[in-house]
Amino acid sequence: MPADHSSPSTPQGNAFLHFFSEHQARIEQALNSSLEQRPHQQLNLHQAIRYSLLSGGKRVRPVLAYAAAAAITSTTNELIDRAACAVECIHAYSLIHDDLPAMDDDDLRRGQPTCHKQFDEATAILAGDALQTLAFELIADCDSGDDASKLQLISTLARASGDKGMVAGQAIDIAAVDSELQLDQLEQMHNHKTGALISASVRMGALATGCATEQQLHALEQYAAAVGLAFQVQDDILDVIADTETLGKQQGADQALNKPTYVSLLGLEGARQKAEALHQQALQALKPFDHSADPLRGLSAYIVERSH
């Protein structure tokens, strides 16, 4: 393991694991609370929403939001919770739609049947639509934070989610099936498909504090760009080396669809080197921060070391 990684056996690693588990529990509670007041809980639609939003997952994006907030201030507020919930709602909606027959046509997600398999295709589409709008409702209706801060959060999330970000990346991904992409084209695709929402998570966590400086936001932007791409590189590696049970989704799915990946372009060892280089870029971006940014440093290491 490279020297800059924090092993779980070290004090730094233990502190990170505590932060990660604490904020995973915090986001689970916040997500549950966000659904408690929804109407018509007996509808298949709302069962599908709960099934998709509360079906586990690593919660990397909301934890990134919490870690970015912690790098700015030790003070917490409800708007940080709402921002973290919002990015996870968008992520859950994107997974539902990505798994649809018209997209990647996947049967398994997080070790369970995908939403359209558990319910039906129409319900899955509507559940994704509802989760997308819920994300913005959670921010807009928050009692914490001023209107200017909430507007910044909504704008950041909308830009990252739409045709300037995640949706554009998915469109490029679909068009890339059976195509040959150059490395810069693959990077552009994943900067949109995966990186945009990860970058938004980091920026929103910082913005929700209400006291982030432009210099801090710029440094966090550089960090997020590196970890967002590293996340996808590691996903491509895991699609090759991990099994279906560990992944919680079909192993080899990208290869089966003949999609270009970092492994197909760089080879397995080249992809691993790419992930490590991106981790080092992320750490370099955090140089202006003190130990308050250690959770962000730990998350970068986690992203390139995870097994699923």
pLDDT digits (tens, 9 = 90+) for 138-179: 999 999 989 999 999 999 999 999 999 999 999 998 888 777
In a domain, 301, yes or no: yes
In a domain, 39, yes or no: yes
pLDDT at 259: 76
Query: Computed over its alpha carbons, how large is the radius of gyration of the chain?
Result: 18
In a domain, 117, yes or no: yes
Residue range(s) defining the domain that contains residue 168: 11-305
| Low pLDDT (below 50) residues in the chain | 1-4, 8-9
pLDDT at 12: 65
Q: Which pTM was predicted?
A: 0.91
CATH number at residue 87: 1.10.600.10
Burial tier of 243 (Cβ tally within 10 Å: 0-12, 13-18, 19+): exposed
In a domain, 1, yes or no: no
pLDDT at 9: 46
Report residue 114 as tokens: 């995908």
Question: For residues 303 and 60, is the Cβ–Cβ distance under 8 A?
Answer: yes
pLDDT at 244: 66
In a domain, 194, yes or no: yes
In a domain, 51, yes or no: yes
The phi, psi pair for 114, rounded to 5°, reads: -65, 165
What's the structural domain count of the chain?
Answer: 1
In a domain, 6, yes or no: no
Question: For residues 205 and 67, is the Cβ–Cβ distance under 8 A?
Answer: yes
Sort strands 108-109 and 112-113 into parallel, antiparallel or unpaired: antiparallel
Bridge partner residues of 113 (DSSP): 108
Q: Which of 238, 229, 206 is nearest to 278 (CA)?
A: 229
In a domain, 78, yes or no: yes
